[in-house]
Amino acid sequence: MAIVIFGPPGSGKGTQAKLLMRGLGVPHVSTGDILRDRIRSGADLGTRAMAAMRNGGLVCDDVMNRLVAQRLTEPDAANGFILDGYPRTLTQAEHFAGWLAGKAIREVVIHLEVDYNIIIARLTGRRQCPRCGTVYNVASNPPKVAGLCDLDGESLITRDDDREDVIRERFEAYERQTWPVLEFFRKSGHRVVKVQTGDEAPEAVNGKIRQVMESA
Ligand code: AP5
């Protein structure tokens, strides 16, 4: 099965993808993590792509379509995957729909809806382990020792794009370029289910997702 977690920046896509991954045993494919890993490892992503990420804009479609197509052909994705952060433009959605066509893969799009004010509070409190990718939040999910990853003791970092001015740019890119993807999925007959969330803990949101997936 292919699960596409769709929603604005900071809506909890990565958090929910990781919870679903544990239960389903399929990989979590996060395009943001793929890009950040490449930057960290010194791979040449191009100055335009790096500037886009830093400023809250989107990396170009050709690069993203290529990176995702490569990732989805890896053996661990043979039985399914959870996509987080892709597709994010109409061009990417068309490319993905073309990739899916003719494959025996059932797909479902989970649309996470969260108020922007809640998101801003969450993102400014987000901390991430640069080694294993575990995501924390200083308010809702702090590490056991402040500033250090529970799993490997690495010093946690704040993402460059989690500043409020950049978060607002990311919302703008979401509304202008990503929001139409939802309509594309609906009109082209893909299953789309909405999960409205507020102050619930991640596990409660995950329970809602599982419920709508079972009834979809
Ligand atoms: P990406 O990494 O995909 O960022 P994003 O979509 O902006 O989403 P985030 O990772 O910020 O948030 P999330 O929804 O995963 O939330 P999370 O679970 O972490 O992309 C980064 C950049 O890369 C883009 O801006 C773009 O430049 C580029 N890019 C990536 N993909 C691209 C593509 N396809 N095309 C073009 N460019 C692309 O949660 C956030 C925080 O909230 C955490 O601290 C978490 O602990 C906390 N939290 C989560 N759920 C809850 C809850 N229920 N209650 C309380 N706290 C919670």
Give the tens place of pLDDT for each residue, 34-68: 999 888 887 777 788 889 999 999 999 999 999 99
Across the beta sheet with 28-30, what order do the strands follow? Answer: 28-30, 81-84, 2-6, 107-113, 191-196
| Distance from C-alpha of 36 to C-alpha of 84, rounded to nearest angstrom | 14
Contact (CB, 8 A) for 52 and 61: no
- The encoded tokens of residue 115 equal 């108020």
Name every residue whose Cβ is closer than 8 Å to that of residue 91 and which is 6 or more positions away in sequence: 61, 65
Place of tokens 């993102």: 123
| Distance from C-alpha of 207 to C-alpha of 135, rounded to nearest angstrom | 19
| Distance from C-alpha of 129 to C-alpha of 90, rounded to nearest angstrom | 32
Mutate to test the pocket of ligand 1, among 59, 96, 167 (most ligand atoms within 8 A of CB): 59
Per-residue confidence (pLDDT) for residue 49, from 0 to 100: 87
Per-residue confidence (pLDDT) for residue 103, from 0 to 100: 86
Q: Report how far ligand 1's centroid is from the alpha carbon of 102 (Å).
A: 30
Per-residue confidence (pLDDT) for residue 112, from 0 to 100: 97
Place of tokens 């740019």: 169
| Distance from C-alpha of 17 to C-alpha of 5, rounded to nearest angstrom | 7
**Using 50, 70 and 90 to split pLDDT, how confident is the model at 15?**
very high
What's the one-letter identity of residue 107? E
Residue minimizing CA distance to atom 12 of ligand 1: 10
pLDDT tens column, 78-129? 989 999 999 999 999 999 999 998 888 888 999 999 999 999 999 999 999 9
What's the one-letter identity of residue 56? G
Q: Inform me whether the pLDDT recorded for 215 exceeds 90.
A: no
Per-residue confidence (pLDDT) for residue 199, from 0 to 100: 87
| Distance from C-alpha of 132 to C-alpha of 151, rounded to nearest angstrom | 8
Average pLDDT of the residues in 202-208? 95
Per-residue confidence (pLDDT) for residue 27, from 0 to 100: 96
| Distance from C-alpha of 207 to C-alpha of 20, rounded to nearest angstrom | 10
Percentage of the chain modeled with pLDDT above 70: 100
Alpha helix (H) residue ranges in the chain: 13-24, 31-40, 47-55, 61-72, 90-100, 116-124, 164-173, 179-187, 202-215
Question: Cα 107 to the chain's mean position, in Å?
Answer: 16
Per-residue confidence (pLDDT) for residue 133, from 0 to 100: 87
Per-residue confidence (pLDDT) for residue 196, from 0 to 100: 93
Phi, psi of 107 (to 5 degrees): -125, 150
| Distance from C-alpha of 80 to C-alpha of 155, rounded to nearest angstrom | 32
Q: Which residues are catalytic?
A: 13, 88, 126, 159, 170
Residue minimizing CA distance to atom 23 of ligand 1: 32
> Average pLDDT, whole number, for the chain?
93
Question: Which residue ranges have their beta carbon within 6 Å of ligand 1?
Answer: 7, 9-15, 31-32, 35, 52-53, 56-59, 64, 85-86, 88, 92, 122-123, 125-126, 135, 137, 140-141, 161, 170, 200-202, 205
Per-residue confidence (pLDDT) for residue 213, from 0 to 100: 86
